[in-house]
């Protein structure tokens, strides 16, 4: 954020991330091209590319990133959120931001290959410590060997060329399905690449489900991930009307596959926090995310609590598991009037409050 002394107004300046700066440092690669950007970061890189490219299409896997870019949409800049594009358009160049999950990188490379013209250019950028060096061994046979084009700002940029037709992306090729024992019974979990889910119940969720309250009516599963909590909840209480929200496109797709595999019905949709949820709920349940990138931040937890009370009906149940070190108690007391910890161990606490205001 910068202060403009002439106008006496604060000017918001979005700083490009290091990978985005490296992309623009190689802007000659995109001159007059139709460019696809996959998994872009929380900056305005797709818009900046229009200074060089003739047209840009950007697919965000993070809903917050999509919302940040959405106001910039124009005929030359198409913006989508999800795990795939809604059309079969082919591009001259595809740019991939190398993700933290190596398995997700393989998916994105396949997706890029599907949408490149024969001989099309693949550009992959990522931080040195983020695993991008494995790209050379990871590249499939339909791309030639990636070449290190540039190295700056603690990042690497590789280029490659599509030399054979890439296979069509089918989600079923990228999902692991397994049986999971929960306190409510056996459920089938479908986990797509890039989504956190273990083949056993993680300790936090296990404690949450071992202390599951009787819920009724309309319930929100916040940060649903692969849908483990929703599946267990519907196993025990099948008449609930559950809505599942997450910020991650692959998580939402995983949750939908988990619901289908268990013959359960629930509504899934993206939401940045609780902003896209409608009306009020009889219950909110969650093993909530508390990280911003690699940092644990109390602000996420505080906002989740304050937003939750606005979304609960009187008598509504707020039931979450949280790491003991997170400072939830003061915020919960401020908004709920008291703090109800119904179970805990050496790592986690279960907060289960009723909204009675």
Domains and CATH numbers, the chain: 2-161 (3.40.50.150), 172-355 (3.40.50.150)
pLDDT (0 to 100) of residue 49:
98
Round to whole Å and give the CA distance between 285 and 340.
Answer: 15
User: Residue 200: pLDDT band by 50, 70, 90 thresholds?
Assistant: confident
pLDDT (0 to 100) of residue 342:
95
Express each pLDDT in 99-112 by its tens digit. Answer: 999 999 999 999 99
150 pLDDT higher than 60:
yes
User: Residue 299: pLDDT band by 50, 70, 90 thresholds?
Assistant: confident
Round to whole Å and give the CA distance between 90 and 73.
Answer: 19
pLDDT (0 to 100) of residue 14:
63
Task: Report the percentage of the chain scoring pLDDT > 70.
Answer: 94
User: Residue 301: pLDDT band by 50, 70, 90 thresholds?
Assistant: confident
Express each pLDDT in 246-256 by its tens digit. Answer: 999 999 999 99
Round to whole Å and give the CA distance between 102 and 354.
Answer: 41
User: Residue 296: pLDDT band by 50, 70, 90 thresholds?
Assistant: very low
CB 57 within 8 A of CB 80: yes
293 pLDDT higher than 80:
no
Round to whole Å and give the CA distance between 149 and 72.
Answer: 29
Weakest-pLDDT range from 113-117, 170-174, 220-224, 327-331: 327-331
Average pLDDT over residues 79-101: 97
6 pLDDT higher than 50:
no
Express each pLDDT in 40-82 by its tens digit. Answer: 999 999 999 999 999 999 999 999 999 999 999 999 999 999 9
């Amino acid at each position: 954020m910068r202060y403009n002394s002439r106008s006496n107004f604060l000017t918001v300046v979005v700083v490009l991330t290091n990978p985005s700066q490296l992309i623009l440092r190689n802007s000659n690669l995109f001159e007059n091209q139709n460019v696809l950007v996959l998994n872009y970061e929380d900056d305005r890189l797709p818009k900046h590319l229009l200074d060089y490219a003739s047209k840009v299409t950007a697919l965000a896997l993070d809903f917050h990133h999509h919302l940040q870019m959405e106001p910039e949409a124009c005929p030359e800049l198409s913006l989508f959120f999800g795990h795939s594009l809604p059309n079969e358009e082919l591009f001259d160049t595809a740019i991939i931001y190398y993700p933290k999950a190596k398995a997700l990188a393989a998916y994105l490379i396949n997706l890029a290959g599907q949408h490149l013209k024969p001989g099309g250019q693949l550009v992959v950028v990522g931080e040195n410590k983020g695993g991008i060096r494995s790209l050379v061994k990871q590249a499939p046979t339909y791309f030639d060997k990636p070449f290190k084009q540039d190295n700056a700002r603690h990042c690497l940029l590789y280029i490659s060329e599509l030399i054979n037709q890439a296979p069509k992306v089918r989600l079923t090729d990228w999902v692991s399905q397994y049986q999971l024992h929960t306190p409510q019974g056996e459920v089938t979990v479908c986990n797509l690449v890039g989504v956190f889910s273990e083949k056993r119940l993680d300790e936090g969720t296990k404690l949450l489900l071992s202390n599951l309250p009787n819920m009724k009516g309309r319930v929100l599963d916040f940060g649903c991930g692969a849908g483990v909590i929703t599946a267990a909840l519907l196993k025990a209480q099948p008449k609930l009307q559950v809505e599942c929200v997450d910020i991650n496109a692959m998580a939402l797709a995983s949750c939908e596959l988990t619901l289908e595999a268990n013959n359960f019905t629930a509504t899934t949709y993206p939401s940045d926090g609780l902003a896209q949820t409608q009306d009020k709920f009889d219950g909110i349940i969650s093993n909530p995310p508390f990280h911003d990138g690699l940092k644990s931040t109390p602000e996420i937890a505080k906002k989740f609590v304050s937003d939750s009370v606005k979304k609960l009906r009187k008598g509504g149940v707020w039931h979450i598991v949280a790491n003991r070190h997170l400072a939830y108690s003061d915020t919960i007391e401020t908004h709920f009037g008291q703090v109800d910890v119904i179970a805990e161990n050496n790592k986690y606490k279960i907060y289960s409050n009723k909204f009675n205001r």
